[in-house]
């Protein structure tokens, strides 16, 4: 995300770029599976945005609910991952043989801002902060295993495919 004191992060910059192209309380969320549409996060709200300002407003709302805390390494350490989902729809109309035809182009973009991997001894975390670090460290390690398995599978010429541990963490699922 970056901060007001530092350079903007990749997510705000991506939102700016995406909109330019198109225009030319804390709770744990549950990941569910729909037989037709695949994995989704239960209880998410969907909002229509048409400007960068709209996106920035919603990013502010999301950042206010994001958990941060002071640790021995960072005065404002992120204690949670953040996922930003975009379903981009662009409708165009073209005339063909005197008739107007509408076409729709749809894209889905998922951006993830991960909490940093944290060593409890260096960060001097205990109690709740240690439990938080354990949760996000576990999900980051699972992500590492998923990426490693995908990498090995792509390099392997064997017919047998290995099992990718996507479902071992809500983050990777």
Contact partners, residue 86, CB within 8 Å, separation at least 6? 18, 107, 108, 109, 110, 111
pLDDT at 158: 63
Q: Which of 96, 97, 98, 68 is nearest to 81 (CA)?
A: 68
**Residue 138 and residue 146: Cα distance in Å, rounded?**
12
Give CA–CA dist 139/113, Å, rounded: 13
133: tokens are 């670090």
The superfamily CATH assigns to domain 10-168 is Kinesin motor domain (3.40.850.10)
Euclidean distance between CA atoms 40 and 38, whole angstroms: 7
pLDDT at 56: 93
Q: State residue 24's pLDDT score.
A: 55
Burial code of 11-38, b = ≥16 C-beta within 10 A, e = fewer? bbebbeebbeebeeeeeeeeeeeeeeee
What pLDDT does residue 131 have?
Answer: 83
Q: Residue ranges per domain, the chain?
A: 10-168
For the chain, 173 residues long, give each residue's pLDDT as a single digit of tens. 887 677 888 888 888 887 776 665 456 678 888 888 788 888 877 889 999 999 999 988 888 877 777 788 778 777 778 888 888 998 999 888 999 999 999 998 888 888 878 887 888 888 888 888 888 888 899 999 999 998 888 887 665 677 899 889 888 88
């Amino acid at each position: 995300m970056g901060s007001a004191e530092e350079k903007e992060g990749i997510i705000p910059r991506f939102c700016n770029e995406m909109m330019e192209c198109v225009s030319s309380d804390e709770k744990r969320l549950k990941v569910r599976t729909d037989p037709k549409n695949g994995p989704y996060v239960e209880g998410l709200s969907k909002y229509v945005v048409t400007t960068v300002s709209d996106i920035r407003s919603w990013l502010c709302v999301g950042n206010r609910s994001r958990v941060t805390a002071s640790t021995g390494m960072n005065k404002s350490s992120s204690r949670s991952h953040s996922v930003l989902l975009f379903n981009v729809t662009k409708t165009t109309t073209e005339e063909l043989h005197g008739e107007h035809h509408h076409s729709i182009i749809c894209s889905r973009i998922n951006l993830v801002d991960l909490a940093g991997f944290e060593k409890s001894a260096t960060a001097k975390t205990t109690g709740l902060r240690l439990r938080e670090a354990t949760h996000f460290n576990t999900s980051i390690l699972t992500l590492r295993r998923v990426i490693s398995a995908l990498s090995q599978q792509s390099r392997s010429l064997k017919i047998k495919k290995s099992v990718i541990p996507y479902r071992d963490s809500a983050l990777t699922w």
